Structures are given as C-alpha cells and as structure tokens.
Chain A
Amino acid sequence: MATAKTYDPEALASQRRQRRNARLLRHLGLHALLIALLGIMLYPVIWMIFSALRPEQEIFGEMGFIPTNWTLENFTSGWQLYGDLTFTTFYVNSFIICALAILGNLIACSMAAYAFARLNFRLKWLLFAAMLTTIMLPIHVQLIPQYIFFLNIGWVNTILPLVVPKFLATDAFFIFLMVQFMRSLPSELEQAAVVDGASYWQRYWRIILPLTMPALATTAVFTFINTYNDFFSQLIYLTDTDAMTVPVALRLFLDPSGGQSSFGGLFAMVLVSIGPVLGFFIASQRLLTKGIATQGFK
C-alpha cells in the first residue's frame, strides 16, 4: 500500500475512492463465486422440489427445469403409500418421540449440569471426566446389550428405548454445553438466594435455570433435529409398521416391491420430511448459529 507523501486532499480522496472501488470489485467477484457454489450445492434440493410438484411421468423427461403442469398429486399419493397406514401415523410417532426426548434432555441434563457447574461434591472431577468421555463413545459398544435388555423387557416396538435414556441424561454433550453456560453466571446471584434461605432446588429452579435459557433452547433445537433425523436406533427398535417413524418409513421407498415405482411420491415425502427441520432452523436461526459457534456443535 503506497502512503501519500503529500497532503493534497484531492489526491487523498481519489486514492481512497480507488481503494474503495477495488474492494467493491473484489467483493462482487466473491459474491458471484459464493452464489455459484450455493447454486451447485442447493441444485439437487431445488430439482427435487420441482420434481415433487410435477406429474410423475414428467420427472425424468425432457420437460425443462421448471414444471409446466403443476400438481400436488404426488403429495397425496405419497402420503398414503402403504394401504391404511399413512404418513400421519409416522409423523405422530416421530413427534411424540422428539417431544419426550426434548423434555428428558432439558430436565436431566440441566440437573446434572447444575451440580457440575455450581456445586462442590466428592469425586467431582472424576465424574466430570467420565461424563466428558461418554461424549466421545461410539454408541456401538452399548447398543447390543441395550437391545437385548430392551427386547427382554418387551420394549422393542415401543418408544421407550428411544425416550427413557434421555431422562437419564445420556446425551452428555448437552450437559457439557449447559455446564459451560452455567459456569459463566456470576456467583452473587445464588448468594443472595442463600441469604434468603433458598434450598438448592430453589436456586436451581428459580435462579439458574431461567438464566440458562439460551443453552436450554439450543439443547431443545438440537435434540429435535438429532432425534428427528436419527435413523440407526429407530431402525433397530421400531420394526412394526405402526410403530415406525418418518425416517424408518421413508426407508420403505428403498424396497423394490414397495414405493420405488413412484418417484413423485418419494420426492414429495422427502420434501415433507425435511420440512420440520428447516422450520425449526428458520424459527431459531440466530440462536442456533450462535450456539454452534460457541459450542462447536455438529
């Protein structure tokens, strides 16, 4: 960068203008590049949206990118693909599991986090280390005995194996997230309550929990997204058709004897299935990106 030796205001102003123009040009180029990349990345999704909205026989035809004959028939046919059983059942199942998982994570993880973040107790650091270790454990090393156990007590094909563990704070990542958050709250807040004779429960419930709202909201949103998208454990535990959730039901499209004949129905149902996640994301967008940024969430 050349520095102006003379203090001619004219020259300075023109130099500044030049620099600003160069910057503007660079930015324009960058915008073009980013938009092109986004276009490529999102093209399959947009193609799917248009495919879902056009008649079946036109999906793989030479009919142009944007449909000429708009239709919603794929949505109605896809929704009722399996006889009496419609996606209504699958969505109800998915949403019940998600709602209970959120509730479980919020209660159990925040309780554990309160102890780790704000109380002193014996073996604290050992237990904390154990908790951090479980974040990294692959589920595979617990899965088989868990499955055998749940099978033996008759919980397979119920929502219990998917929901009960959440009430026992098995998603340790959220404990960690809340611990980080609760630690940053000033200790004076609780001291005032101690003077007023508040119990530990009251300090947790009335003081700390309300202030932890951002972390709780992040937990709720991510629990929803993870549970809703979860395929592995739902595939294992839910095999009866009327216990199935959305991802497990969508899998039936893979079955050659099943819905593979209808691409329109497939695309329509895929589209509907990603709707709730996108909806949740848009509704809580600012919060989420902040949460990921500070806690490094995948």
Chain B
Amino acid sequence: MTTLAPDDAKSTSKPAPRRREIPQNRSGSALKQSENRAAYLFLTPWLLGIVGITGLPMLASLYLSFTDYRVTAAPNWVGLENYATLFGGDRRFISSIWVTLKYVGWSVPLVLIFSLAIAVALNRGLKGLAIYRSLFYVPSLIGASVGIGLLWKEVFGARGVVNEILGWFGMAGRGWVNSPTFALPTIVALNVWTFGASMVIFLAALRQIPESYYEAASIDGANAWQRFRRITLPLITPVIFFNTVLLLINSFQSFTQAFVVSGGSGGPVDSTLLYSLYLYQKAFQQLQMGYASAMAWVLLLAIGIGTAFVFWTSKYWVFYGDR
C-alpha cells in the first residue's frame, strides 16, 4: 500500500527485461530523491523528538546510572556501585521488586479473566450491547486518575463503603488501606476494576469469529463450554497475547494509585511501594538521580525480559489462523 505507482507496476504486470529498457531511470531516481527529501521533511519533528527527547536522554540516563549524581554537584563516575547497592544492600529496593511482581502477577491474570468472561457474555447476542460496553468501559477512563485513587482510599478506608457492606452481612471490617496485608490487594482491585479496556478489545475479536463455526460445532453436539474451549479460545489467542503484553507493560509502570492510596509513602510498611514509586522517591524526593537512573535501567531490562519471555512463550500457545 505504501509503494507508489512505479513500484506497483514493477511487481505486477510488466516483465522484468522490458522495464530495464525503458529509459525511465533518471527521472525515476529524481522522483525518488524528491520523495526522499519530502519524507525527511515530514519526519523532522519526530526525528528531533526521538533524538532529543528520547534517545539522548536515554544515553544520559545510562551514563548517570554509573555516577553518584545528586543535582547539587557534578556527577562522579562510580562504576557499578549503584547497581551493586541496589542488589546488594538496598532492602527497600528488593522489597519494591516483590511488591511489583505481586501486583503484576495478580492484576494481569485477573484483568484477563474478567475482561474475557464479560466479553464472551456480552457477545451472545444480548440486547443493549453498546450500553453495557460503554458502562464497563467507564472505569478504564477514570481509573488512572488521582480522583479515583482518592475515592478508593475512602471506599476501602476504615469507615468506607466496603466495611459498610460487610457490616450488612455481619462481618467485621478493617482499615483495608492501612493494613500491610490488604493495602496492595486494594490497589490490585483498582487495577482489575479497569478491565473494560481489555474487554473492548476482546469483544472486537470475538465478533470476528464466524457464526458458522459455532453452528457447525452445535450440530456436532458440542456444548457451550466445548465451543468456548475449542473454538473461541484458540481463535482469540493472538488477542490474549496482545492484551497480556499491553497489561504487562502498563502494570510494571503503575504509579499513581499506589502514590495516592499510600499518600506517597508506599506504606504501610512499604507494602504498596511499587517500583515506580520507589524510583520517584529516590529521584525526586531524595534527589539521588544517579541511583534512580540505575533503577530506571533495571526496570527497562525487566520489562524487556518480561515482554521477550511472553513473546517466546507465544509460539507454544498463540494460534495464528494462517499457519
């Protein structure tokens, strides 16, 4: 689609030798050159951005990660010291890794299960599909905002709605967000609450599956579970894969809700100290920018390895129709 007329002609009708005889070469290359120039003009803002806003800062950050930079004085080269401290002596860092892994490990599967289940339920020819879809999507729109974080804090607070509802059933509530055991699940719940975005993607994929597959299976006597297990699930594995990668990348970087629910501290007892939050504290509260840069690169590697791992496993469970 991207190729223009000359290339199209090349690839389709005319036989190769004849094309070479036509003395089109010079004007063709002139055209190519002007196209080349035009393309780079169109790309100028983006090129400036990818070099100046993304590339150079990345390199600078890599450099800073080997220094003791603290804003007040020029950076001193310290070699691998920051990395050694991170993995050797920084207990909050190690704990923030566990907190983040727990957070990602719970929320990604839960979001996938919820979004797929609701999408399958909605895809059965229900009336009012558009309304349901919008309403389930609403939390995804607002879930990342500070406002909803504040609301969550009160809803799961000692006097919040959750305890009120538990009270109806005669169960004792607690201050969920103040408990080292339950504060993180509270934030996981907030992430799961925003499953609507994944659901919308699943729903679009489900609607692509031809109705005739299900009809054929029904005639062969397949029940609802078998139809889901043998038709739906294999056909949407590419979308499950896509959603998984998206959710992984996003939840590894979660910041706002842990910040708001814990008041910026990552507490109680560091139980909500997500990786991003700890990085923020190091960089912008304690101004240990060199150290925080090392953390950023560890995060980049972690996300890279995590994503690569999911890509690697995909050949065992993702089914592409054309293979």
Contacts and interface: CB of A to CB of B under 8 A. Distances in A.
Interface of A: 1, 26-27, 30-31, 33-34, 37-38, 41-45, 47-48, 60, 107-109, 111-112, 114-122, 124, 127, 130-131, 134, 136-149, 165, 167-170, 175, 183-184, 187, 190-191, 200-201, 204, 225, 228-229, 231-232, 235-236, 246-248, 250-251, 253-254, 263, 266-267, 269-271, 273-274, 277-278, 281, 285, 289, 292-294, 296-298
B296 A144 contact: yes
Nearest to A273: B147
A112 B43 contact: yes
Given A119-B35, A274-B142, A298-B197, A48 B292 contact: no
Contacts of A33: 121
B250 A121 contact: no
A78 to B, nearest CB: 12
Interface of B: 1-5, 7-8, 32, 35-36, 38-43, 45-46, 48-50, 52-54, 56-58, 60-62, 64, 71, 118, 121-122, 124-128, 130, 132-142, 144-148, 150-152, 154-155, 159, 161, 193, 197-198, 200-201, 203-204, 218-219, 221, 242-243, 246-247, 249-250, 252-253, 255-256, 259-260, 263-264, 276, 279-280, 283-284, 289, 292-293, 295-297, 299-300, 303, 307
B296 A289 contact: no
Contact of A250 (B128, B146, B247, B300): B146
Contacts of B49: 108, 165, 168-170
B135 A170 contact: no
A167 B201 contact: no
Q: Which 3 A-B pairs have the closest CB atoms?
A: A168-B49, A293-B204, A121-B39
Nearest to A151: B71
A168 B35 contact: no
Given A121-B36, A231-B255, A34 B132 contact: yes
B201 A138 contact: no
Contacts of A236: 280, 284
Contacts of B201: 292-293, 296
Given A34-B121, A41-B139, A247 B146 contact: yes
Contact of B256 (A175, A201, A232, A270): A232
B54 A1 contact: no
B52 A1 contact: no
A250 to B, nearest CB: 5
Given A187-B1, A187-B5, A273-B145, A121 B155 contact: no
Contact of B45 (A1, A111, A122, A138): A111
Contacts of A145: 56-58, 60-61, 64, 293
Contact of A142 (B53, B118, B252, B260): B53
A274 B147 contact: yes
Contact of B147 (A118, A169, A250): A250
Given A236-B284, A273-B145, A136 B200 contact: no
Contacts of A285: 134
A266 B160 CA distance: 14
27 contacts: A27-B124, A27-B126, A33-B121, A42-B138, A112-B45, A115-B38, A120-B39, A138-B252, A138-B300, A141-B61, A143-B61, A144-B293, A145-B60, A168-B45, A168-B48, A169-B45, A170-B49, A187-B3, A229-B146, A231-B145, A231-B255, A231-B259, A246-B146, A271-B147, A274-B145, A293-B201, A298-B247
A200 B42 contact: yes
Contacts of B121: 30, 33-34
Contacts of B154: 48, 263, 266-267
B5 to A, nearest CB: 6
Given A31-B126, A112-B42, A293-B204, 9 more contacts: A120-B3, A140-B279, A170-B53, A175-B46, A183-B2, A187-B4, A190-B4, A267-B154, A270-B148
Contacts of A274: 142, 145, 147-148
A193 B26 CA distance: 22
Main secondary structure of the interface of A (DSSP, over half): helix
Contacts of B136: 38, 41
A167 B45 contact: yes
A37 to B, nearest CB: 8
Nearest to A288: B137
Nearest to A134: B54
A117 B127 CA distance: 39
Contacts of B61: 141-145
A264 to B, nearest CB: 11
A149 B259 contact: no
A141 B300 contact: yes
Contacts of B38: 115, 119, 200-201
Contacts of A140: 253, 276, 279, 295-296, 299-300
B204 to A, nearest CB: 3
A278 B141 contact: yes
A37 B121 CA distance: 12
A183 B46 contact: no
Contacts of B48: 168
B321 to A, nearest CB: 18
Contact of B54 (A26, A44, A170, A297): A170
B7 to A, nearest CB: 8
Contacts of B279: 140
